Amino acid sequence: MRNPFARGPRALIACLALVLPAVTPVPAQAQTQTQTQKKYDTGASDTEIRIGNFVPYSGPVSAYGTIGKTHAAYFAKINAEGGINGRKITYLSADDAYNPAQSVEQTRKLVERDGVLLMFGALGTSHNQAVHRYMNQRKVPQLFVSTGATRWGDPKNFPWTMGWQPTYQLEGRTFAQHILATRPQAKVAVLMQNDDFGKDYLKGVLDGFGEQAKQRIVVQQTYEVGDPTVDSQMVALKGSGADTFINISTPKFAAQSIRKAADIGWKPAHYLVSVSLSISSVLKPAGLDNARGVMTASYLREPSDPTNQGTPELAGYLAFMKQFYPAGDPNDSLNVIGYSQAQTLVQVLRQAGDELTRANIMKQAASLKMDLPMLYPGISLQTGADDFFPIKKMQLVRFDGSRYAPVQ
């Protein structure tokens, strides 16, 4: 999907040699300053900044495609306002159908054929892992990936890759610690996607339980991304006698699991991973009454939360959605993610100024301190040369049938 704004012509810079004797020569120092004032790598020019992305617009987790559409809408907003330091953003977003092989193919096309300056907000743990070494070997920024795997915060070994959201392990530990504090005798059932995404979350859960992990977790079930349903797994989880459910699943399967639990009369304390907290994409399809009591960890404001009504932060977001992405659901938290990620990248590009080199992009990405408007109150974004985890805090929340409310 291409940015709706047409790509402008590349500027041509002509260097003219002045030979008339009456003209005073420009001092050497001034010449050097003029020549080095602007610096570009592939994908940047006087008029354009080319940004690459892949996201599943089709396939089993196509609900995530709206994140890419929100990115495009926000960049359209920036272009309409004059661009970044006078340059328009060309956003090239490809559909990988949530297939790592296609993620590799699309990334190579974007980097080698389309000449993007950087990859931004690409979604999926296994999918970004498939191009992790490639991006670092080519020294192309792999910025603000849409996955909470801990591997994205390793500047020593992978200096061209940076995450964005809180890590899955942090969230998994948060769930386990809350269970130990509130249900010390809990019998825990775990449903997880059988890939790097699921395993990373599970590691956080195990770390949070510590020595009690084997005692607390009485059953684990996995599913594959291509499975039609998780109905049989849910029946097995109920049959274990578990009274607490940690649900490590993506939106389609999260909705299925919530509905199936209601159908079979299983009512455990339910912890749902934040990648599936969307009310419109997950809880509504599952049935809002069925989702009542579900807990998750949030780092973003919920647009439908009455406590956010009337705030300038929400007003700005809603105005953006109405003007630039009217087909999108403003209450879908996935759109809040896309909006906030795009704001983060725009700040990096603004800080980079006229030095739009890949090295400077990473330097600026590693020197951020921001209060993004749609981050949960009390949570901010900050990075450093040895800190590639921009958002480090989460708030445990519970769905009350209409909105998420903080869990004290």
Question: What pLDDT score was predicted for residue 10?
Answer: 37
Out of 236, 267, 297, pick the residue that ends a domain: 297
CB 333 within 8 A of CB 312: no
pTM, two decimals, is 0.85
Which range among 3-17, 164-178, 187-201, 230-244 shows the weakest confidence by mean pLDDT?
3-17
Question: Are residues 157 and 203 located together in one domain of the fold?
Answer: no
Is there a domain that residue 27 lies in?
no
Q: Within 13 Å, how many C-alpha atoms sit on residue 146's CB side? A: 28
Q: What is the 3-state secondary structure (H, E, C) of 100-149?
A: HHHHHHHHHHHHHHCCCCEEECCECHHHHHCCHHHHHHHCCCEECCECCC
Largest alpha-carbon pair distance within the chain? 94
The chain-wide mean pLDDT, for the chain, equals 91
Question: What pLDDT score was predicted for residue 408?
Answer: 74
Is there a domain that residue 396 lies in?
no
Out of 297, 329, 350, pick the residue that ends a domain: 297
Question: Are residues 142 and 66 located together in one domain of the fold?
Answer: yes
Is there a domain that residue 174 lies in?
yes
Out of 253, 274, 297, pick the residue that ends a domain: 297
Question: Are residues 139 and 180 located together in one domain of the fold?
Answer: no
Quickly count: other Cβ atoms within 10 Å of residue 366's Cβ: 18
How many structural domains comprise the chain? 2
Which range among 20-34, 235-249, 333-347 shows the weakest confidence by mean pLDDT?
20-34
| Residue 333 main-chain phi, psi, to 5 deg | -65, -20
CB 184 within 8 A of CB 202: no
Question: Are residues 46 and 149 located together in one domain of the fold?
Answer: yes
Over range 271-280, report the average pLDDT.
Answer: 94
**What is the residue range of 380's domain?**
42-165+307-391
Quickly count: other Cβ atoms within 10 Å of residue 384's Cβ: 12
Question: What pLDDT score was predicted for residue 33?
Answer: 41
Question: Are residues 251 and 350 located together in one domain of the fold?
Answer: no
Question: Are residues 280 and 333 located together in one domain of the fold?
Answer: no
Is there a domain that residue 13 lies in?
no
Question: Are residues 280 and 198 located together in one domain of the fold?
Answer: yes
Over range 27-52, report the average pLDDT.
Answer: 77
Question: Are residues 121 and 244 located together in one domain of the fold?
Answer: no
Over range 90-101, report the average pLDDT.
Answer: 98
Question: Are residues 55 and 133 located together in one domain of the fold?
Answer: yes
Is there a domain that residue 358 lies in?
yes
pLDDT tens digit sequence for 126-167: 999 999 999 999 999 999 999 999 999 999 999 999 999 999
Over range 360-373, report the average pLDDT.
Answer: 98
Is there a domain that residue 285 lies in?
yes
Question: Are residues 286 and 214 located together in one domain of the fold?
Answer: yes
Residues 6+ apart with CB under 8 A from 7: 48, 88, 90
Answer whether residue 26 shows pLDDT above 50.
no
The CATH number assigned to the domain holding 190 equals: 3.40.50.2300
DSSP letters spanning 241-253: T-SEEEEE--HHH
Is there a domain that residue 375 lies in?
yes
Is there a domain that residue 25 lies in?
no
Question: What pLDDT score was predicted for residue 36?
Answer: 55
Question: Are residues 110 and 143 located together in one domain of the fold?
Answer: yes
Question: Are residues 143 and 111 located together in one domain of the fold?
Answer: yes
CB 383 within 8 A of CB 370: no
Question: What pLDDT score was predicted for residue 307?
Answer: 87
Residues 6+ apart with CB under 8 A from 294: 258, 270, 271, 272, 283, 398, 399
